[in-house]
Amino acid sequence: MFKILFLSIFFATTVVDCFGQDDGRNKLATIYFMRSTNGTAFNYFSTFIDDSLACHLRNNRYSVHFVAAGLHKLQVRFDGKKPRKRIRTLDINMEAGQSYYISLNGNRNLFADDLFLMEVTTNTASKLMPTLTIDNNCK
């Protein structure tokens, strides 16, 4: 009888532990930066999350970042390691447990090129992801 009681308590505590771990993991939101800009393929593009450097991305790569839920400002530039004040940021209010797919888009203009971030849906991301490779250590 005591054995059964002991076992039941043991299982109950372990189950509670598992749930606790799940909750902790679900508090984060996931950001994917995806780059496939074929026009300017050679230099690194540096992406920022809240004014701190997140990743130097090469062409045809993607990177994964975990952030706390809340409002985050994302930015990209093609020169330098510090964020700029004048560049318009992409502000997204992120929810816990969700993933956000950010594509690095470039437009060619007559005198200067334009580089900006665009949040895409899972529909587009699932089509784009297989053509890219992951970049784990890109700081």
Partner 1 sequence: MTKISICTSLLLFFCSIATFAQADSGVNAKVYVFRSTGYPQSGVNFRVVINDELTCKIGNKRYALLDVKTGVQTFYITTWDNPTKKKKLGLEVSLEAGKNYYLNMRVTTQGFETKIFFEEITYNSAQLLIEELEQDIDCSR
DSSP 31-86: EEEEE---SS-SS-EEEEETTEEEEEEPTTEEEEEEEESEEEEEEEESS-SS--SS
Q: Which of 26, 107, 131, 133 binds partner 1 (CB under 8 A)?
A: 107
Is there binding between residue 85 and partner 1 (CB under 8 A)?
Answer: no
Is there binding between residue 120 and partner 1 (CB under 8 A)?
Answer: yes
Residues that contact partner 1, how many (by CB under 8 A): 25
Is there binding between residue 59 and partner 1 (CB under 8 A)?
Answer: no
84: its two tokens: 């700029």
Is there binding between residue 36 and partner 1 (CB under 8 A)?
Answer: yes
What letter represents residue 121's amino acid? T
| Minimum distance from residue 112 beta carbon to partner 1 (Å) | 10
Q: Report the alpha-carbon distance of residue 133 to residue 8 in Å, rounded.
A: 46
Nearer to partner 1, 8 or 107 (CB): 107
Backbone angles phi, psi at 133, to 5 degrees: -115, 150
Nearer to partner 1, 91 or 139 (CB): 91
Backbone angles phi, psi at 107, to 5 degrees: -115, 135
Segment 39 to 58, residues that bind partner 1, using CB under 8 A: 39
Residue 130's SS3 state is helix
Name the residues that contact partner 1, by CB under 8 A: 36-39, 88, 90-92, 103, 105, 107-110, 113-114, 117-121, 123-124, 127-128
